[in-house]
């Protein structure tokens, strides 16, 4: 490590590799002492050893607790929008985890509307799991923000700096000819870089304090540089050079060469030692920010609070109808414009603009909605709450982001969904309807309109008849079976579950007969409630692996069972009789989902999704493929397949919220993220995909002629076909 920080690095490695002691480590110190650099160093160099591998690094600066939760879940490969969902995922996946939290001291400690607190409600429950360790960056440590014991690495403590190594590093910086000697400079990297721009006599009384050094550096700057730094201080955050120049010119129209002023100021903040690029920029110390604030206040008697907002808004391109094109706005504007919305009118200009909701920073909009006094419809809050975790990791493509928010808004905010529809239609996956869970009190009376059918654990297409629209059968956690219209989501009626057991899998056989997998691992027939005769008995016997999943193709007379040992069992139906047609070991891991399709020329395609993130193809009577068709660092939650005129189409849902739709015969593929967890899937031959879970049921129209993958996300598929 540079700047003499090797002792801190050794102390951090000692904590990470030690089996005993606190599972919480705090990296503390004033701004500029190298806390973030130390944390990034461990992330970059610790991956080679299991004890030092950081499994997630979550930036908390300027974040409220919910975005921190969403980012953590995303990096761990889970789809969790709430704290109970995150903890539930954590409890079923007890792998050793080392989680880093950067800039905790700059985060919002509590959300006003939800009451969620970052440390006591989110981070400390993580530490209650003995397989979790936390590495947290905090500010100057007055007190431990956690209730438990912690190892503290305080970078303000000079014992964590090698003074000789710091002196060698400082001597290697580009410096003034008569720069202060290393002994006169506090052993802090940013102060060393500032001191290198000074002469030895610039620090009064040679006291070497940080305050004296910062004051001396500021006094050395000319009025043009101070004016530009004042603008930088008002912007806050890391700002790119073009945005800094444009805002400075807008705030100082009387300055003849505002661009040159920013260039001169940027040169003072650009370290030529190879350790810092030419941007983005921010004032590296609070003392410098205080100087800049005073400089900005002294310009023309001070500037109005809304000046920066209007200057930033002026950087958003507009089309020929004068509508802002937020997708082309600078990143800084999308991420920080809300911080400068000082009036109710400015706040509502942003929250009433669908384009800003699509492209604005999720974290910033969350903070805006959490402000006291912000009045927006409850429908907007509901739609945003569902879409925000997905938008956090989407790219900048307008169609993709609009499709995500459109899907989340269809049920709670139909007017917003209608405004987003033209942009969403440009994406190959577009939601057609969604039914979202609601909390209804007795005083509200009976539900009106299209109703949510309840939590769904299994889906299967029903038989088509001329007298009614195409429909699905949905099973809830209690085993209730509801018929849902595929084209609208309307509830058509119920089917009595004579097994009186919770259902985890459904498959339609011929006519009105259904195969039902209960939570106990038994397979039964409806109507009748009898166990399948007589072929499956050896699969379901006590000395065999439990059945974990079920699927089928009623048109092809197929039923597929998957078990905990990774074996798939194929049954063929002929004249209402099921006979075992074959079995194969698809994987060493348990099967989480199976499906089957009867293709032309007497061919059969069986897919199995395993608990270790693989989707395996089996074409009986041949052996299963030795290479998985898909592999991801996530757990699959559901599979579905259907025959089409051009071959089979299948869909895979994953625990991190991603859904893949692909055509194995011609390798067409598209992927997207659902705005709610999906534990059951059904797909029709004309490209309508229905996904359901505990919180919602949604139907998407999928156009496989336009392949797409979600941008800005980790854990992409690795196809091996």
Angle between helices 398-409 and 414-424 (to 10 degrees): 150
Residue-level pLDDT at 206: 47
Beta bridge partners of 649: 642
Range of the structural domain that residue 63 is part of: 6-160
- Looking at the structure, tell me whether residues 682 and 607 fall in a common domain: yes
- Looking at the structure, tell me whether residues 521 and 374 fall in a common domain: no
Residue-level pLDDT at 535: 38
Query: Kind of pairing, strands 547-553 and 523-526?
Result: unpaired
Angle between helices 378-391 and 414-424 (to 10 degrees): 40
The pLDDT of 183-206, averaged and rounded, is 80
- Looking at the structure, tell me whether residues 151 and 136 fall in a common domain: yes
Between CA 710 and CA 401 the distance in angstroms is 10
- Looking at the structure, tell me whether residues 491 and 582 fall in a common domain: yes
According to DSSP, residue 479 is labeled -
Residue-level pLDDT at 700: 96
To which residue do tokens 């959490």 refer? 370
Residue 1 lies in a domain: no
Tell me the two tokens of residue 422: 């033209």
Q: Which helix (H) or strand (E) holds 265?
A: helix 258-269
Residue 382 lies in a domain: yes
Between CA 642 and CA 662 the distance in angstroms is 11
Q: Can you give the three-state secondary structure of 542-579, one letter per residue?
A: CCCCCEEEEEEEHHHCEEEEEECCCEEEEEEEECCEEE
Residue-level pLDDT at 478: 85
Can you say whether residue 500 is alpha, beta or left, with left for phi > 0 and alpha for psi between -120 and 50 degrees? left
231: pLDDT confidence band, cut at 50, 70 and 90?
Answer: very high
Cβ-Cβ contacts under 8 Å for 216 (sequence gap 6 or more): 198, 202, 203, 204
Using the predicted structure, report yes or no on whether residue 707 has a pLDDT greater than 80. Answer: no
Phi and psi (nearest 5°) for 57?
Answer: -125, 110
What percent of the chain is predicted at pLDDT more than 90?
A: 38
- Looking at the structure, tell me whether residues 77 and 199 fall in a common domain: no
Query: Kind of pairing, strands 151-154 and 24-28?
Result: parallel
Q: For residue range 267-292, what is the model confidence (pLDDT) as tens digits?
A: 888 764 444 456 788 888 888 888 88
Residue-level pLDDT at 353: 93
Distance spanning both ends of the chain, measured CA to CA? 44
Residue-level pLDDT at 298: 66
Q: For residue range 302-329, what is the model confidence (pLDDT) as tens digits?
A: 555 568 999 999 999 999 999 999 989 9
| Burial (CB count within 10 angstroms: exposed 0-12, middle 13-18, buried 19+), residue 579 | exposed
Residue 174 lies in a domain: yes
- Looking at the structure, tell me whether residues 148 and 177 fall in a common domain: no
CATH number at residue 76: 3.40.50.300
- Looking at the structure, tell me whether residues 102 and 139 fall in a common domain: yes
- Looking at the structure, tell me whether residues 370 and 496 fall in a common domain: no
539: pLDDT confidence band, cut at 50, 70 and 90?
Answer: very low
In 92-222, which ranges are continuous DSSP H helix? 124-127, 163-171, 189-195, 210-220
Residue-level pLDDT at 644: 82
Between CA 23 and CA 148 the distance in angstroms is 9
Between CA 87 and CA 565 the distance in angstroms is 27
Of 190, 220, 250, the residue at which a domain comes to its end is: 220
Between CA 435 and CA 433 the distance in angstroms is 7
Between CA 626 and CA 586 the distance in angstroms is 9
Of 303, 338, 366, the residue at which a domain comes to its end is: 303
In 509-608, which ranges are continuous DSSP H helix? 537-540
Residue 419 lies in a domain: yes
Residue 715 lies in a domain: no
Using the predicted structure, report yes or no on whether residue 121 has a pLDDT greater than 50. Answer: yes
- Looking at the structure, tell me whether residues 173 and 68 fall in a common domain: no
Q: For residue range 328-352, what is the model confidence (pLDDT) as tens digits?
A: 999 999 999 999 998 889 999 999 9
713: pLDDT confidence band, cut at 50, 70 and 90?
Answer: very low
553: pLDDT confidence band, cut at 50, 70 and 90?
Answer: confident
22: pLDDT confidence band, cut at 50, 70 and 90?
Answer: very high
Instruction: Return the closest-CA partner of residue 407 out of 64, 72, 84, 674.
Output: 674
Query: Kind of pairing, strands 97-102 and 514-518?
Result: unpaired
Structure-model confidence comparison of residues 203 and 39, the more confident one: 39
To which residue do tokens 């499994």 refer? 55
Residue 678 lies in a domain: yes
Q: For residue range 613-627, what is the model confidence (pLDDT) as tens digits?
A: 999 999 998 999 888
Q: For residue range 74-109, what is the model confidence (pLDDT) as tens digits?
A: 888 887 888 888 898 888 888 899 999 999 988 888
Alpha-carbon torsion, ordered 696, 700, 706, 712, to 10 deg: -10
Using the predicted structure, report yes or no on whether residue 533 has a pLDDT greater than 80. Answer: no
Structure-model confidence comparison of residues 404 and 713, the more confident one: 404
Cα→Cα distances 287→97, 101, 190, 192, 284, Å: 37, 25, 12, 15, 9
Between CA 524 and CA 514 the distance in angstroms is 8
Cβ-Cβ contacts under 8 Å for 287 (sequence gap 6 or more): 210, 211, 214, 215
Residue 445 lies in a domain: no
Using the predicted structure, report yes or no on whether residue 31 has a pLDDT greater than 50. Answer: yes
To which residue do tokens 């193709």 refer? 553
Of 109, 131, 160, the residue at which a domain comes to its end is: 160
Residue-level pLDDT at 227: 92
Across all residues in the chain, what is the average pLDDT?
Answer: 84
Tell me the two tokens of residue 665: 């015969």
> Length of the chain in residues, anyone?
721
| Burial (CB count within 10 angstroms: exposed 0-12, middle 13-18, buried 19+), residue 110 | middle
| Burial (CB count within 10 angstroms: exposed 0-12, middle 13-18, buried 19+), residue 87 | middle
Instruction: Return the closest-CA partner of residue 261 out of 245, 272, 247.
Output: 245
Residue-level pLDDT at 451: 63
Instruction: Return the closest-CA partner of residue 67 out of 125, 19, 111, 133.
Output: 111
According to DSSP, residue 119 is labeled I
Cβ contacts of 54-57, under 8 Å, gap ≥ 24: 54/98, 54/99, 54/100, 54/135, 55/97, 55/98, 55/99, 56/97, 56/99, 56/100, 57/99, 57/100, 57/102
CATH number at residue 608: 2.130.10.10
Q: Are 79 and 675 in contact (CB under 8 A)?
A: no
Between CA 701 and CA 588 the distance in angstroms is 35
Q: What's the distance, CA 277 to chain centroid?
A: 28
- Looking at the structure, tell me whether residues 23 and 116 fall in a common domain: yes
Residue-level pLDDT at 679: 94
Phi and psi (nearest 5°) for 438?
Answer: -130, 155
Between CA 566 and CA 545 the distance in angstroms is 9
Residue 710 lies in a domain: no
Tell me the two tokens of residue 348: 């509502």
Using the predicted structure, report yes or no on whether residue 479 has a pLDDT greater than 70. Answer: yes
- Looking at the structure, tell me whether residues 16 and 110 fall in a common domain: yes
Q: Which span out of 247-261, 417-431, 460-474, 534-548 was modeled with the highest average pLDDT? A: 417-431
Between CA 449 and CA 434 the distance in angstroms is 13
Q: How many domains does the chain have?
A: 5
- Looking at the structure, tell me whether residues 245 and 313 fall in a common domain: no
What DSSP string runs through 168-186?
HHHHTS---TTPPPGGGS-
């Amino acid at each position: 490590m540079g700047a003499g920080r090797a002792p801190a690095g050794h102390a951090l490695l000692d904590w990470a590799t030690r089996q005993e002691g606190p599972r919480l480590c705090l990296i503390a110190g004033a701004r500029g002492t190298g806390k973030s650099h130390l944390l990034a160093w461990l992330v970059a160099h610790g991956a080679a050893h299991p004890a030092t591998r950081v499994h997630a690094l979550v930036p908390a600066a300027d974040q409220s607790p919910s975005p921190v939760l969403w980012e953590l879940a995303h990096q761990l490969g889970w789809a969790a929008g709430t704290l109970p969902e995150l903890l539930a995922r954590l409890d079923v996946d007890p792998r050793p985890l080392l989680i880093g939290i950067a800039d905790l001291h700059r985060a919002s400690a509590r959300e006003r509307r939800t009451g969620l607190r970052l440390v006591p409600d989110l981070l400390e429950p993580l530490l209650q799991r003995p397989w979790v360790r936390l590495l947290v960056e905090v500010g100057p440590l007055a007190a431990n923000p956690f209730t438990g014991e912690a190892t503290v690495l305080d970078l303000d403590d000079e014992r964590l700096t090698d003074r000789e190594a710091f002196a060698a590093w400082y001597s290697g910086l580009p410096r003034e000819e008569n720069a202060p000697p290393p002994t006169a400079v506090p052993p802090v990297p940013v102060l060393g870089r500032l001191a290198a721009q000074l002469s030895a006599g610039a620090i009064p009384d040679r006291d070497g304090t940080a305050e004296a050094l910062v004051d001396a550096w500021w006094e050395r700057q000319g009025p043009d540089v101070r004016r530009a730094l004042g603008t930088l201080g008002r912007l806050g955050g890391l700002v790119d050079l073009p945005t800094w120049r444009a805002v400075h010119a807008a705030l100082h129209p009387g300055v003849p060469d505002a661009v040159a002023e920013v260039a001169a100021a940027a040169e003072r903040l650009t370290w030529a030692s190879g350790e810092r690029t030419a941007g983005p920029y921010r004032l590296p110390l609070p003392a410098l920010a205080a100087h800049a604030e005073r400089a900005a206040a002294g310009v023309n008697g001070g500037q109005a609070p809304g000046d920066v907002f209007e200057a930033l808004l002026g950087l958003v391109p507009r089309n020929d109808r004068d509508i802002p094109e937020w997708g082309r706005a600078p990143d800084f504007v999308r991420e920080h414009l809300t911080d400068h919305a000082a009036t109710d009118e400015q706040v509502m200009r942003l929250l009433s603009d669908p384009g800003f909701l699509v492209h604005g920073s999720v974290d910033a909009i969350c903070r805006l909605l959490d402000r006291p006094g912000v009045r927006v419809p409850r429908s907007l809050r509901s739609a945003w709450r569902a879409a925000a975790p997905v938008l956090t990791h989407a790219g900048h493509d307008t169609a993709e982001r609009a499709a995500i928010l459109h899907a989340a808004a269809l049920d709670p905010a139909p007017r917003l969904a209608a405004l987003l529809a033209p942009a969403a239609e440009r994406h190959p996956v577009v939601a057609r309807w969604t039914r979202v869970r609601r909390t209804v009190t007795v005083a509200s009376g009976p539900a009106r309109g299209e109703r949510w059918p309840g939590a769904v654990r299994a889906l299967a297409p029903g038989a088509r008849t001329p007298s009614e629209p195409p429909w699905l059968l949905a099973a809830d956690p209690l085993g209730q079976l509801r018929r849902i219209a595929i084209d609208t989501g309307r509830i058509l009626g119920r089917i009595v579950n004579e097994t009186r057991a919770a259902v985890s899998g459904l498959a339609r056989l011929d006519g009105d007969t259904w195969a039902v997998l209960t939570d106990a691992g038994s397979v039964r027939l409806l109507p009748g409630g009898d166990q399948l005769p007589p072929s499956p008995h050896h699969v379901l016997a006590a000395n065999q692996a439990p059945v974990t999943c079920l699927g089928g193709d009623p048109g092809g007379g197929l039923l597929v069972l998957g078990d905990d040992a990774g074996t798939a069992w194929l049954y063929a139906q002929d004249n209402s009789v099921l006979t075992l047609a074959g079995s194969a070991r698809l994987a060493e891991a348990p099967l989480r989902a199976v499906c089957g399709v009867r293709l032309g020329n007497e061919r059969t395609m069986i897919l199995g999704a395993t608990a270790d993130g693989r989707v395996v193809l089996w074409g009986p009577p041949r052996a299963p493929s030795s290479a998985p068709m898909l592999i991801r660092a996530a757990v699959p939650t559901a599979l579905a397949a259907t025959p089409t005129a051009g071959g089979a189409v299948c869909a895979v849902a994953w625990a991190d919220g991603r859904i893949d739709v692909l055509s194995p015969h011609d390798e067409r593929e598209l992927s997207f993220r659902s705005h709610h967890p999906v534990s059951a899937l059904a797909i029709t031959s004309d490209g309508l995909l229905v996904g359901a879970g505990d919180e919602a049921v949604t139907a998407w129209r999928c156009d496989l002629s336009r392949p797409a993958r979600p941008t800005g996300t980790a854990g992409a598929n690795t196809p091996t076909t």
